[in-house]
Chains A and B, each alone.
Chain A
Amino acid sequence: MGRALSARQEILERIGRIQRAGSPPSSRGYRRSGTLDAEQRVELFCERAGDYRADVHRVPAAGLADTIAAMCGERRAGIVAAPAGVPAEWRSPRLPFASAAGLTPAELDQLDGVVTGCTVAIAETGTIVLTAGAREGRRALTLVPDLHICVVQTDQIVELVPEALARIEELVREERRPVTMISGPSATSDIELSRVEGVHGPRDLVVLVVDRGP
């Protein structure tokens, strides 16, 4: 501990001895709020999320549970988990969700897929943002299974990165929520820069964009 303490002091002293100019004036000339209307925003999000090979569908709120069950069926995903906060309208009797609580990494590896919501989505970059909320679950849940179905409500879509961070800032500051930003399925370009989808994270990312029901 004595040595650790002195490393701290020494580094701070090294910095303290250096002549430095004052901070420059802050520079915030970039866009911090978007200009698109709601429908354009949704369209842009769908296009951009699709660009990175997420499987994007706009679906009606009515029958969402059946849509989700059908998506899982098409992909032969039989064991599908969901966080406790996923609402009843997403749950079909055809496909009862396994409980995600308390699973070990090895048990998570036995799941075929997972269904979650998100906190906010970014149109310009095609990104979904999870903050471990009741509909999103802990981080490992959307990581280990090979299929991730994410339900995005149209009123969760913002246009720009700064708008998205503004929406989650309080959750990080006040509740210290972990954040995962997802843009398409996991990918690598490490071999001759040719892009391969699906390395360690889910190889299959399905994004269901739903108009908020009445």
Chain B
Amino acid sequence: MTAPIEDFAVAARRELANEQLRANLRNATGTIREKRARVVGEVPDWEELRDAGRAIKEDVLARLDDYLLEFEAAVTAAGGQVHWARDGAEANAVVARVAHAHGATEVVKVKSLTTDEIGLNEALTEEGIQAIETDLAELILQLDGDWSSHILVPAIHRNRHEIRELFARTIAPGLDSSEPRDLAEASRLYLRERFLSAKVGVSGANFGVAETGTLCVVESEGNGRMCTTLPAVLVTILGIEKLVPTFADLEVFLQLLPRSSTGERMNPYTSLWTGTTDEDGPQELHVVLLDNGRTRVLRDEVGRSALHCIRCSACLNVCPVYSRTGGHAYGSVYPGPIGAILTPQLIGIENAASLPFASTLCGACYEVCPVKIDIPNVLLHLRAAAVRAKASQRERAVMRLAGWVFGSRRRFGLAQRAGRLAQRPFVRAGSIRRAPGPLSAWTKTRDLKAVARQSFRDWWAGR
């Protein structure tokens, strides 16, 4: 059903060869790291907010079925229609059905990772419906047939000159400035007509409030407000883990998210809507509750904390691996440390076995996570699972043998003696530069210290 993604080490090596990408990433992640640190530093109760965020998310997962039913009832009472989708295909079908019902061949879209995850745009294309991305970065990627490399700034790997060339080729013939202001203006002009004429809008949501049925979109450009207020029909797709129990719980996340994400005290626009409102915004609201692997993640007692994620992307910016390889190496719409624990669980560890190893376990991600997901711990947990899931038994057999040898002093002593003999042809000046056979993988990038002529125990005994 799900295809395995490319091995991280292979993909990373290719990405690292792109010097432009590395320069763009270094600038971007550095800037945003500093901004975040500054605005987080000025909040005296940041740790208390993190604790609250984590506690709320734990509660949501502990009572997820209750909250989903409460949310469904509240949305319905407020005039919305709720759909449930086991997988991406079911969710995509709902959107297509709604668009067809209104004779729409075009829908305007707010940036949404969830819809990227389920390949909504491609599915709609097959149905003869064009999905227009309206977030500036998403538009850039869509025009170029590229895909996101960062949760918050998806086109982080592109610089202004590349974007000018792209716009001149597509939406703004003759554009000759690569000033960000002029590039933003070009997208404003191009998209405005589409906003004004669109019949159907499609969005994700940052939060859904179980108690009131309220949906929340947090954004900067105003494209989110456009898509959720101007079209007569709105479809919002929501991963089932995105709920919060009460309206008041938003007070925690609306503080944690913008400071962690863009490094702002508050993002320019936050929209909250509850069902439909007479003479204000869409008169028809569809809400799709999406599973697509989330209940599988929930089954894992350790791994389920990945579902606490509020998609701020702070962990990407501080990660020594991400900030060099960029997002594409992770082979998924969820890159970086959070992607390394979320993707393998969503699509199955056997399909993304290399991702839990795409980390130095330095712990910086845990430190900045606004909902305190212990990412290094989940990585270790998934590494164990990846080894267990391996088709090849060779590594496991070797490890079992090693365990048996190390388990007894006598066997260990014999092994040392055997090693001393076996290493002879390879030792030069006390170290092994190139080991034979499969062991050569170890010495490809480092020397191996030779087994000493006399062990400490032997020396002690013969003293």
Contacts and interface: CB of A to CB of B under 8 A. Distances in A.
A201 B153 contact: no
B270 interface: yes
A13 to B, nearest CB: 9
Contacts of B222: 143, 186, 199-202
B153 A139 contact: no
B84 A105 contact: no
Which of B134, B251, B252, B299 has the largest number of chain A CB atoms within 10 A?
B251
Given A11-B295, A126-B266, A196-B184, A109 B225 contact: no
A190 B135 contact: yes
Contacts of B78: 176
B191 A200 contact: yes
Contacts of B196: 105-106, 109
A7 B84 contact: yes
B200 to A, nearest CB: 14
B248 interface: yes
Given A24-B58, A178-B280, A190-B135, A125 B250 contact: no
B356 interface: no
Interface stretch (B1-9, B45-53, B392-400): B45-53
B426 to A, nearest CB: 51
A132 B27 contact: no
Contact of B65 (A15, A32, A166): A15
A29 B83 contact: no
Contact of B289 (A11, A172, A194): A11
Given A161-B255, A192-B160, A199-B184, A186 B277 contact: no
Q: Please classify how large the interface on chain A is, using the bins under 10, 10 to 19, 20 to 34, 35 or more.
A: 35 or more
A192 B248 contact: no
Contacts of B52: 26-30
B27 A192 contact: yes
Interface string B50-71: 0110111011011111001100
B208 to A, nearest CB: 13
Given A4-B83, A105-B196, A199 B295 contact: no
Contact of B226 (A7, A16, A143): A143
Interface string B217-238: 0001111011001100000000
A93 interface: no
Interface SS majority for chain B: helix
B27 A193 contact: yes
A66 interface: no
A180 interface: yes
Contacts of A198: 184, 188
A41 interface: no
Nearest to B78: A176
Nearest to A186: B222
Nearest to B221: A199
Given A23-B63, A27-B55, A193 B31 contact: yes
Contact of A180 (B265, B271, B277): B271
A201 B268 contact: yes
Contacts of A30: 45, 48-49, 52, 252, 255
A44 to B, nearest CB: 11
Interface of A: 3-4, 7-8, 10-12, 14-16, 18-32, 48, 51-52, 105-106, 109, 122, 124-127, 132, 138-140, 143-144, 161-162, 165-166, 169, 172-173, 176-194, 196, 198-202
Q: Which 6 pairs, one residue from A and one from B, show the smallest C-beta to C-beta distance? A: A201-B222, A200-B222, A29-B48, A125-B266, A138-B280, A186-B222
Interface of B: 24, 27-28, 31-32, 44-45, 48-49, 51-52, 54-56, 58-59, 61-65, 68-69, 78, 83-86, 90, 134-137, 140, 153-156, 158-160, 163, 180-181, 183-184, 187-188, 191-192, 195-196, 211-212, 214, 220-223, 225-226, 229-230, 240, 247-248, 250-252, 254-255, 262, 264-275, 277, 279-281, 289, 291, 295, 298-299, 301
5 contacts: A21-B62, A31-B44, A138-B229, A140-B280, A180-B269
Given A193-B31, A193-B153, A199-B184, 10 more contacts: A11-B291, A30-B45, A138-B229, A165-B254, A169-B248, A178-B281, A183-B265, A190-B135, A192-B24, A192-B160
